[in-house]
Amino acid sequence: MPALLLHLLKKPALTGAVAPSSRHLALAMVRATGEVRHVVELGAGTGPVTRELRSRLPHASLVAVELQPVLARQLRIRFLGLDVRQDLAHEVLDGLVYPDPAAVVSSLPFRSLPQDLREVTMASIERFLRRVPGSRLVQFTYQPRAPFEASAGFQWHKSCSVWRNAPPAGVWVLQTLSAH
């Protein structure tokens, strides 16, 4: 928690939470991924979602993306052998291709990201979902609406609400229209 608070104070626009995701939110996000063989976690932070992904999807490949150096280092120590990429989400996503559907599980704070970073990240996610058919984005938000406006050809649906999180959150899934 201290590392998360330090980053919140230094870079509030890049840190979307005042506390790590609850186990309940992490479980809801993992359930929304479905059965996939590949997972890319964006904004892994202190690792509550990472822990559940590794526990509940032990045979899936997992790439954890975390921009903040201290948090990325902590993830490498906490989850030995985990593929942790300390980079911008779009830089990692644009380089990934999988032979079968993947889940992008995101804790990125889209509503508070600087506009240019938000736009390039959203575009990268949509390119990834098109490039790897049948894939999905699983994203939580504290807002009562979809995390961001998706382009034509994509559709959001709300998976669930998680009341046992501070603050309560909604879990949303974005897919191409052809994937429904």
Residue 144, Cβ density class (10 Å: 0-12 exposed, 13-18 middle, ≥19 buried)? exposed
Task: Output the pLDDT for position 8.
Answer: 46
At the topology level, CATH places domain 2-179 in Rossmann fold (3.40.50)
Question: What residue has token string 């479980």?
Answer: 27
Q: What tens digit of pLDDT does each residue of 69-110 get?
A: 999 999 999 999 999 999 999 999 999 999 999 999 999 999
Coil, strand, or helix at residue 179? helix
* pLDDT tens digits for range 114-157: 999 999 999 999 999 999 999 999 999 998 899 999 999 999 99
The letter for the amino acid at 37 is: R
Kindly report, residue by residue over 54-74, the tens digit of the pLDDT. Answer: 999 999 999 999 999 999 999
